[in-house]
Structure 1
Amino acid sequence: MLTIEHQAGVTLLRLQRPERGNALVPMLVEGLIGAASEAFADPAVHTLVLQGEGRHFCTGLDLSDLATLSDADLLLRLVRIETLLAMLWHAPIRTVAQAKGRTWGAGADLLVACEQRLVGSDTTLRFPGAQFGLVLGTRRLAERIGADAARALVLEGSELDAPQALALGLASRITDTLALALLRTSGDTGRAVRTASRSDLRDADLAALVRSAAVPGLQQRITQYRASLLAQ
């Protein structure tokens, strides 16, 4: 489900659910939270890299068991994903997401939360949460690409390709490879700069998520959204 590798100060976390597009299930989210916490606490680690096995980086939240979930179940899953995203956004070390293929929903939010956002030439991005009444990661997206662009992207639910993501500033670079040799340490100065250059959005982001997800009928709204996709 998740593999962890350590190479010369770099911790690589690879999502290992290629048969499900590396969609996020609770066990995988908790594994990512634990592995990231360990990396951030290790003084020998200067970079954390997120990758996905197979064709896609991460296709979002795994909803294969949606029919069995209550609104409360979904809220808990979403809060834990927000916890992971906030950890990455406020990481004391460099974070890198290497996206490819479908990078949708919570997968796109993983990309946004990382400092360096590498996208493969075949990458597509979507932020569909607003289509079923969910506010997840919108402030972080606005920090990356500006409030107007973020608002339009979220409300329209449109799909971006790699060149569009680069033009918006959502992607740092288009590349199909990762050069670990270029991920050099920046030491204590890098930590200080990271802290000073990021807005602390944790409380506001969590509150916005909980308010939107707590509106009764979340499970039904997601079910209807999925049905509309299948009908297209």
Structure 2
Amino acid sequence: MGSQFETVLCEALDGVGTITLNRPDQRNALNLQMALDLHAAVKALEADGSVRVILVRGAGPTFCAGADMKERAGVTEEWLRNRRLAAFAAYDAIQYCPKPCIAVGHGPIIGSGCEIATACDFILASSRVSFRYPEAVRGSVGATQRLPRIVGKALAKELLFTGRVMGAEEALRVGLMNRVVAPEDLEAAVKETVGMILQAFPLSVQLAKRCIDVGMESDLRTGQAYEMLAIDRCLADGEWRRGAAAFTAGKPPR
């Protein structure tokens, strides 16, 4: 599969779907068309049975420079509200995609780019990455829900109130990213991580993702009950038999 939208590139190869934000001349700033394209690309890869893992990248030196402020000139409040709803739909498409989604950060991640990256299941990045949440200093509000759930309330407030830049090491320390490597090692780290995911059983990975997401939004008992349902689903599918047989034979899981 390979498709090209107006503002994103979307391709699938060897079980891996890749979405590339593709407005490098505008530092991949998120406009309405990109929000629509991003949503459509995620849904296309979600529906592609050959795709097991989805990577989200940015073309050029910047992952995403945030919202495209230039498109706001002369628009109405209603238009801007609908534009934000389109962006929210794109973020949610990533977050609630049943397949694992990984953001690959190689440079600055700003505003809407932070929402795209943190909507993914986790972020792998080079030491050149940085984060900035400038919504308040631009007269708007954003990132008030995902960010505090990751870094905590106090730090989220500081970042959102000040719009300061957070470097790679701090972002790693506070849990905003999973791994930081030298720029020349980023692709190898991505390939290694994706390779390990592809070794796992796809149903088990998807159910684990759903269980974690549901559990984090509910109490422990509810989460455990949901996990039991997931276990029953695996038992019905028979993945556990194949996994056990591979282990006994000393073979890779798949």
TM-score normalised per structure 1: 0.80
Matched, 1:190 2:205: yes
8 Å Cα contact 1:139-1:201 kept in structure 2: no
> Structure 2 unaligned runs (5+)?
1-6, 218-254
Matches within 5 A, 1:57-136: 57-132=63-138, 134-136=140-142
Give deviations 1:40-70, integer Å, cap 9, x for gaps.
Answer: 1223211111111111000011121322211
Give deviations 1:173-226, integer Å, cap 9, x for gaps.
Answer: 113323335313341111111112115999xxxxxxxxxxxxxxxxxxxxxxxx
2:215 and 2:31 map into 1 onto residues whose CA distance is: 27
8 Å Cα contact 1:58-1:102 kept in structure 2: yes
Amino acid of the structure 2 residue aligned with 1:39 = L
Provide the alpha-carbon RMSD of the alignment: 2.0
Correspondence for 2:12: 6
Correspondence for 2:51: 45
Q: Percent identity?
A: 25
8 Å Cα contact 1:92-1:191 kept in structure 2: yes
TM-score normalised per structure 2: 0.74
Q: 1:84 to 1:21 in 2, by over 3 A?
A: same
TM-superposed CA distance for 1:149, in Å, is 2.0
TM-superposed CA distance for 1:132, in Å, is 4.3
Amino acid of the structure 2 residue aligned with 1:86 = D
2:46 and 2:159 map into 1 onto residues whose CA distance is: 31
2:59 and 2:166 map into 1 onto residues whose CA distance is: 21
1:56 and 1:132 map into 2 onto residues whose CA distance is: 20
Amino acid of the structure 2 residue aligned with 1:191 = Q
Counting matched residue pairs gives 202
Structure with greater contact order relative to length (CA < 8 Å, sep ≥ 6): 1
1:180 and 1:7 map into 2 onto residues whose CA distance is: 13
Larger radius of gyration: 2
